[in-house]
Structure 1
Amino acid sequence: MVLPLVPLPSSVTESPGTLPLTATTRIVVENEADAAASVLADVIAERTGRRPAAVAGAGHDAIGPGDIVVRRTAREGEHYSLRIGDTVHLEGSDAGLFYAAQTLRQLLTSDGEVWTLPRVEIDDAPRFEYRGVMLDVARTFFDVDTVKAFIDRAASLKFNRLHLHLTDDQGWRLQIDSRPLLTERGSTTAVAARPGGFYSKDDFREIVRYAASRHMVVVPEIDLPGHTHAIGLAYPDLVEMPVMNAGLLTQAKSLGEALPVAGEPYRGTGVGHSSVKVHDDATWDLLRDVLTELAELTPGPFLHIGGDECLGTAQADFDAFIARVTALTTELGKTPIAWHEAGSAQVAEGTIGQYWGSTTPAGAHADHARRFAEGGGSVIMSPSNTAYLDQKYDAAFPLGLEWAALIDLQTAYEWEPTTIVDALPAEAILGVEGPLWSETIETLDDIDQLIFPRVAAIAEVAWSPVEKREWTSFRDRVGLLGAVWDAAGWGGHRPTEIAWSTR
């Protein structure tokens, strides 16, 4: 029997038969598992239209056939177990129980008027500690409700990190009390003719709170020293004049985009033309103000400081900047994350690199990635030709870009994080992230079209044991999730090579 499980658990043992959910099915809450029981009731109600009653555990003698027992254990981490026989038992930490509820949600199937669960025992834990998705809110601004909806989609597939790309040439998206001009002048526009916007500190706190309720840690990014044209709208004396090369000029002409002009909002999509003045004291006064406030707002351990595509900056200046900004981030009590180009510099000890090159590394990309591990850090794998969720499925797809690759579902699935960078120890890979850049998207429906179903492929790469991953198995299992996503109201692309379930 093919079970609709994505990502595939570590261990699955099936038994004959099914367990029906009935009007008398209850959720029995043991050992202060109230939060997990509430999540479980929500997903059952969403899937079946019926919300089971929750009762406090009164000993196993009180548990009846068909009841669902939710038991919180002292064991830390994300491990969980799920046993379905004549009753259902979920056990784990708070995070583990949340993931067990997502697994149970996938297993629910209707047969006419009856909802059933397969009789199965699952013991499960993730392969990688860091399992992330990124949302670019700088090029296109998405409001708090849309970010929450994105969190819901990712959390259902056991992602546990939300990387928010908060700043870029096209806009600055976070309130900074000590530097109000960043939002007053730098947040008003976005790509093309789209409106701008920014998150107040209360907005950001609400995103962080909501993510935490889904066991996701927010990783905020202030992209530096490039991708900083929007800073120049607020503080023109702190940024260099735009530096154009032949590639940027050709791209702007082919797309009919205006070139960047100092002091004017930039609505194009070219990258690499901007930089802060990396040696000016006033620049560092600004960055200390910004990163200090961001660190105070962010309960998670990470601050992403960018470090990519600073094409007009001399290598020695770039390296000096990266060394200093990673040291500042560490001084503020946070672990820096930087795109892999920053590996050219002497980064602060423990800095994490994010690899966005191809699965066949070009130039010095692999060398730069290895440098993070050599400096006591680790690497997040986000190869652009397999993990970038903003790339087109095929040449005719109406949304997305294609500079990295055309990424169909099989391509998004069939890659292995440990084989990309030679001589990078497997234990130095912290995890996997699927970025969604926003040049071509404007709405939640657009987001769904690009992430579903490929985000499920990235989830399995990040969670499941490598020896258990196999394309034809995944193809069959992910098709059975069509009904689950439909019940949640999540749209998306439905490739015709997949047999999509409707119940």
Structure 2
Amino acid sequence: MNTTDTLIPRPSHVALQDSPAFRLAPTARIRATAPAAQPAEQLASLLRAGTGFELPIVEDTRPGDISLEFAEAFDGGPEAYTLNVTEDGVRLTARTQAGLFNGVQTLRQLFPASIEKADASSAEWVIPAVDIADAPRFAYRGLMLDVARSFFTVEEVKAQIDVMAQFKLNALHLHLTDDQSWRIEIHEPEQNPSGLPYAQLTALGGQGAVEVPAAVPARGREGFYTQQDFKDIQAYAATKNVLVIPEIDFPGHVNAALAAIPQLNPDGQAKPMSTTPDVGWSTFSADLPATYEFVREVLSQLAAITDGPYLHIGGDEAHVTGHDDYVAMVQQFVRIGAETGKTVVGWNEFAAVELPEGAVIQYWHGDFAPVVRQAEESGAKVIMSPAANTYLDQKYASDSPIGLEWVEGGPFTWSEYYNWDPAQGGLKDHQILGVEGPLWTETVRNNEQAQWLLYPRAVSLAEVAWSGQEVRNAGDFRRRLGALGERLAQQGVAFQAAPDVEWSATSKWPFPEAGTSSTPEYGTIEA
């Protein structure tokens, strides 16, 4: 199989050339001027580890080199690139670092999968002569990691970023708070009119986690991020062309806040912490001034440490919040969020309020009409996360050791996440910011389990978000997905070996407590 036939996501244009292939030699260099230094160094680091070659970064070029070039007049969007491979060398061109980063990921896949293995120096590093011109369909191509139900360390989040970025996924949404926990540090402010004990949010909420008897282990992991931790995650993500979007969920999903801050309760009494996975039973009070004081302080501090333009304020599943109270509170929360200078994002329930210009609605479930109306009337952009096509926590099969089963139409494998068009229900491409796959962690306890639920379905979403509808084909994707198995296995990524895919390799079984390595349904053959 030619390596151009295994690229994921599929580029906009690929033209094989009837000419000799490029062979990476031990004397090869990587040419890059200063603005291209970061993607050049990332490429060099990957290739050095796999080949053992020195691959110095230089400013001149000669035959046999790989060249990364900025072109201000480049005809393409901010993430577009061209990649030209001849016998004499490789030339990658873009007008932004993001474009160069995307091109590096494609070049990475053109090399044999053994490039992912440290010191595979006995291999021959040959890639075909090819011209590639590429750009994404949607600007936002994301995953969501629920760190509230079960905590993920800074290093684990960085490891997730490493895997997702190679598929040109460029947004990581962190669900930081919920009924069971509070995962982000909020400092005690100098001005604190109601004397709210903000430090208790993590002192108490950081010890919280969900408890589900079917999960292994039953209780999720505890922990929280300091504000510096959050900055570190963002800084690392930026080197991989990934934007981090923080979420503080209210006016529902707030029991951890009600447990930490007594003044947020009408009776002034703190609620007990909860470990139940049930949803929709907690709420802020619309009549308490402390509610708005609290939200303003939390969003202000979070906005101050968030590098990106987006601030997610939740708004979903407020089942015990009266409709009028919901509208009153969320309308205020939206205004408070917008006053921080950030673009406010919310789950589709918040389409019930008047949204500021530029707001973003994340559709996940329920009535789609308000979302379309807001897109048409207020110009709101939409992140498409319909549960039946994007929810990565859903089970692959009824006997899966982890995952949930509430979404109609399941269990779900890679195909349900591939065979859909985000432009639906009257939405047009220009109204859609992008696509996001959420991973809720009621049953997830470590990175390997998370990866197993994410992959290969997140790869399906990556192509849905990047590649134009006209170039996508499920049969072709199934074949390319199978070829990807060896690359993921070389990286040590746990993934579910879907039985309808012919895999080049499959992953380790990440659930020793739930079965043995002979369990055939999920794939256990190592590369």
Q: How does 1:60-459 map to 2 (within 5 A)?
A: 62-64=61-63, 66-74=64-72, 75=74, 77-86=78-87, 87-92=89-94, 93-109=96-112, 113-178=123-188, 179-192=198-211, 193-239=219-265, 263-357=271-365, 362=366, 364-404=367-407, 405-419=410-424, 421=425, 423-459=426-462
Q: How does 1:468-479 map to 2 (within 5 A)?
A: 468-479=471-482
Q: CA deviation at 1:25?
A: 2.1
Contact 2:260 2:270 in 1 (8 A): no
Q: CA deviation at 1:51?
A: 4.1
Deviation readout 1:456-497 (Å, 9 max, x if unpaired): 100000000110011011111122222222222212111132
Contact 1:127 1:465 in 2 (8 A): yes
Do the aligned partners of residues 373 and 337 (structure 1) sit closer, same or farther apart at CA in structure 2, a change above 3 Å counting? farther
Q: 1 CA distance for matches of 2:229 and 2:375?
A: 33
Q: TM-score, normalised by structure 2?
A: 0.86
Amino acid at match of 2:292: W
Contact 1:352 1:377 in 2 (8 A): yes
Amino acid at match of 2:105: Q
Give 5+ residue unaligned stretches, structure 2.
Answer: 115-121, 189-197, 212-218, 506-526
Do the aligned partners of residues 91 and 373 (structure 1) sit closer, same or farther apart at CA in structure 2, a change above 3 Å counting? same
SS at match of 1:481: helix
Contact 1:171 1:230 in 2 (8 A): yes
Deviation readout 1:388-421 (Å, 9 max, x if unpaired): 11111121221111111321111110010012x2
Relative to its length, the structure with more strand (as a share) is 1
Contact 1:377 1:428 in 2 (8 A): yes
SS at match of 2:433: strand
Deviation readout 1:312-361 (Å, 9 max, x if unpaired): 0111110111111111111110110000011112223322100002xxxx
SS at match of 1:220: strand
Do the aligned partners of residues 320 and 407 (structure 1) sit closer, same or farther apart at CA in structure 2, a change above 3 Å counting? same
Q: CA deviation at 1:283?
A: 1.0
Q: CA deviation at 1:110?
A: 6.6
Q: 2:38 corresponds to which residue? A: 35
Give 5+ residue unaligned stretches, structure 1.
Answer: 242-260
Deviating beyond 3 angstroms after TM superposition, the runs of 4 or more aligned structure 1 residues are none
Q: 1 CA distance for matches of 2:286 and 2:149?
A: 23
Amino acid at match of 1:5: L
Do the aligned partners of residues 79 and 205 (structure 1) sit closer, same or farther apart at CA in structure 2, a change above 3 Å counting? same
Amino acid at match of 2:300: T
Contact 2:449 2:494 in 1 (8 A): no
Amino acid at match of 2:25: T
Contact 2:182 2:208 in 1 (8 A): no
Q: 2 CA distance for matches of 1:6 and 1:12?
A: 12
Contact 1:31 1:72 in 2 (8 A): no
Identity percentage of aligned residues: 40
Q: How many residues align?
A: 472
CA RMSD of aligned residues (A): 1.9
Q: CA deviation at 1:24?
A: 1.9
Do the aligned partners of residues 327 and 159 (structure 1) sit closer, same or farther apart at CA in structure 2, a change above 3 Å counting? same
Q: 2 CA distance for matches of 1:12 and 1:195?
A: 45
